[in-house]
Chain A
């Protein structure tokens, strides 16, 4: 909690901040504060979304001004204390306040409202920012039907990807008879390239807990399960702490806030299966079985966990709910478009300048996101495409960058909103290899229950691999497309039905790349190793031997100060020499 009159220092300690060395910075600050007997408050906070600048340290001076510092190592941390906190002069060369304002200021942060601002491990901090007021309002002033009505009117749709109206899901679950009902939070964020759920839990766990309690009250459930990826240990620790703190404060458990409403929560660690993001597979896994999907209907709203009516919603969906109840449906629905209301969080990554997490109103264009907040393509390379929605999504070319971000318009392109992963690709990314990558992923993750997914994706992967190796016959392209449609129609669950999307969209928008691999045996992006030959330009090479030293296969030979040559027999096409050469003398064609 912020104390007036004192300088507050906040260190971004989500997984991204920790990976960038944030813990060392935090410890260095802590030691230096103690050593110099500084009267400041040192806090941990979540991720503000500018992951490329981590570790981020915010200094809030007693007059309330915020100074943001980026890439703060131990030394810079000590300088900030000495020069800024003690000396009163900000450390200019590490200051990112303006950049933060231009990136964060242009967003509408609803589900991320507290991330990077409050201390996620402090219930007081959450309450000071308005936390648990929505719960109090609902329990004291609203009937469960009114809560559902409010969420329905807000237009909130499932943020996990499919976009089913949240209020409707709750109404169906409420209407179904059952002596026990369940709320499940799907935090099994398996889409490689999406990390918003992790970030929300790590940065604002109480928002998820409160959202689930509101959902429980609405549908008439007294028990909730959070199914969280085991790969997110920090998220699990913070969730459990949040639940315990809420329990101690009488916000979770029996007779909450004297209302007579009982609600309990449990965290269950996933064990690493992408298919468990599918709701019926998730239920099977919660019941202790292999995570295999079940045929729908019956939908979980009728027969879910232990055959009882169950509503499964995503982390981001839950994080929106307390805000909607506190601020009203109209205020939420004022953002976005007619059919896609509110805001959406996107995880920006790949060949993008400003990788990280952002939240924007629905309806902005892909171009605005990628070239605005995202800062455009890294290293001044040319934009080629953007992959949306992970393994179930698709690759969209530059010509469609003015597509607005809403469920329907993205589906029309062949991609999907999905969980909101956005991976930018430049001219050096091979689209056939991208399709192969995703097929490899889903083929590995296919649970094996239905033939279309188990065998269909395998055969598709084999064809794609042959194409990237330059070994495919021309007629295999048609076969690939036919198989893709068959799998889409025949698979049992969402994983299989959407698995061909990366292939179908790249075939639709980047067919020329497939044809170049098949007919010309060449990879236009110069990325597929089997189709490349490494040669050294005799004119440009000055015989510095750098490449030879970096070649793990000892395939480069030549006298010092004389042009070198690559032995094609030995070359393993790893590309180390290109990175090592300072004279651009090595080519891969």
Chain B
């Protein structure tokens, strides 16, 4: 795929920064995973056009990079919301009712795992063990950990975020 920067939306992808990242790894094609990780770190996700650009620079096929990006759970190919809700689905959380927490989140935001609210505020992700098993069930919103959840407590936490966002807009 010979996509070049010119055909893309202006300003959508920071090509300069991608160049810097690739430069950091000296164009090493075995560094595809860390390059993707760094790109996700700055953009929040891995854009398809970014993959094409990487392919050109690293002289490997876009299919190979796409294959890697879709193999690992960490990589997102869609933009994410402002707040990422990561619900732990580890064994301890499962035994202690993570399913009910997932239900409460879906109830409140009308999105399922992997989806983003239309207003772009929340992305709901179900993740494997976060490693806080003795505080289960656990979710992390924007880096803040919420432990020993109940469905009601979960609703309250989400409402607080919504209220904060609404207040910020006014």
Contacts and interface: CB of A to CB of B under 8 A. Distances in A.
Interface of A: 15-16, 18-20, 51-52, 54, 189-195, 198, 230-232, 268-274, 285, 287-291, 347-351, 355-356, 387, 390, 421, 423, 425, 429, 434, 437-438, 441, 447, 550, 552, 572, 574-576, 579-580
Given A193-B133, A272-B74, 16 more contacts: A15-B130, A19-B132, A51-B133, A192-B92, A193-B91, A231-B128, A232-B131, A271-B36, A271-B72, A273-B71, A287-B30, A347-B133, A348-B134, A349-B133, A350-B133, A421-B91
Interface residues of B, number: 42
B107 A552 contact: yes
A576 B91 contact: no
Contacts of B67: 290
15 contacts: A15-B132, A18-B145, A51-B135, A193-B91, A195-B129, A195-B133, A198-B131, A268-B33, A269-B37, A272-B74, A350-B95, A355-B92, A423-B95, A447-B71, A579-B152
Contact of B145 (A19, A290, A356): A19
Given A355-B134, A574-B100, A192 B91 contact: yes
B79 interface: no
Nearest to B70: A290
A550 B32 CA distance: 49
A290 B34 contact: no
B147 A574 contact: no
B134 A576 contact: no
B151 interface: yes
B5 interface: no
B152 A576 contact: yes
A192 B98 CA distance: 13
Contact residues of B: prevailing secondary structure: helix
Contact of B147 (A19, A231, A285, A437): A19
Contact of B75 (A271, A285, A425): A271
Nearest to B67: A290
Interface in B21-60: 29-34, 36-37
B138 interface: yes
Interface string B91-108: 110111000100110010
Interface string B116-143: 0000000000011111111110100000
Q: Which among B33, B34, B92 has the greatest number of chain A C-beta atoms within 10 A?
A: B92
Interface in B145-166: 145, 147, 150-152
B71 A291 contact: yes
| Leading 8 A-B pairs by shortest Cβ distance | A355-B134, A349-B133, A272-B73, A271-B72, A288-B30, A192-B90, A349-B92, A193-B91
Nearest to A378: B96
Nearest to A232: B131
Contacts of A355: 92, 133-135
A273 B72 contact: yes
B89 A290 contact: no
A576 B33 contact: no
Nearest to A53: B134
A576 B92 contact: no
A16 B136 CA distance: 11
Nearest to A189: B131
B34 A429 contact: no
Contacts of A572: 103
Contact of A20 (B127, B135, B136, B152): B135
A191 B129 contact: yes
Nearest to B134: A355
Contacts of B36: 271
A348 B133 CA distance: 8
A550 B152 contact: yes
A450 to B, nearest CB: 15
Nearest to A273: B72
Q: Which of A288, A438, A574 counts the most chain B CB atoms within 10 A?
A: A288
Given A52-B134, A231-B130, A550-B152, A429 B95 contact: yes
B33 A349 contact: no
Contacts of A195: 129, 131-133
B43 to A, nearest CB: 16
B131 A231 contact: yes
Nearest to B69: A271
A192 B128 contact: yes
Nearest to B37: A269
Contact of A271 (B37, B96, B134, B152): B37
Nearest to A290: B71
Contacts of A198: 131
A19 B138 contact: yes
Contact of A269 (B34, B94, B151): B34
A193 B90 contact: yes
A324 to B, nearest CB: 27
A429 B136 CA distance: 15
A51 B135 CA distance: 8
B103 A356 contact: no
A508 B145 CA distance: 38
B101 to A, nearest CB: 11
Contacts of A269: 33-34, 37
Nearest to B72: A271
A347 B129 CA distance: 13
A230 B131 contact: no
A198 B132 CA distance: 10
B44 to A, nearest CB: 15
Given A192-B91, A289-B68, A20 B131 contact: no
B81 to A, nearest CB: 19
A195 B29 CA distance: 32
Given A20-B147, A271-B33, A576-B151, A390 B132 contact: no
A395 B146 CA distance: 29
A287 B67 CA distance: 14
A131 B33 CA distance: 34
Contacts of A18: 145
B131 A575 contact: no
A271 B91 contact: no
A387 B129 CA distance: 15
B137 to A, nearest CB: 11
A451 to B, nearest CB: 18
B95 to A, nearest CB: 5
B130 to A, nearest CB: 6
A20 B136 CA distance: 11
Contacts of A190: 128-129
B34 A349 contact: no
A77 B86 CA distance: 30
A288 B33 contact: yes
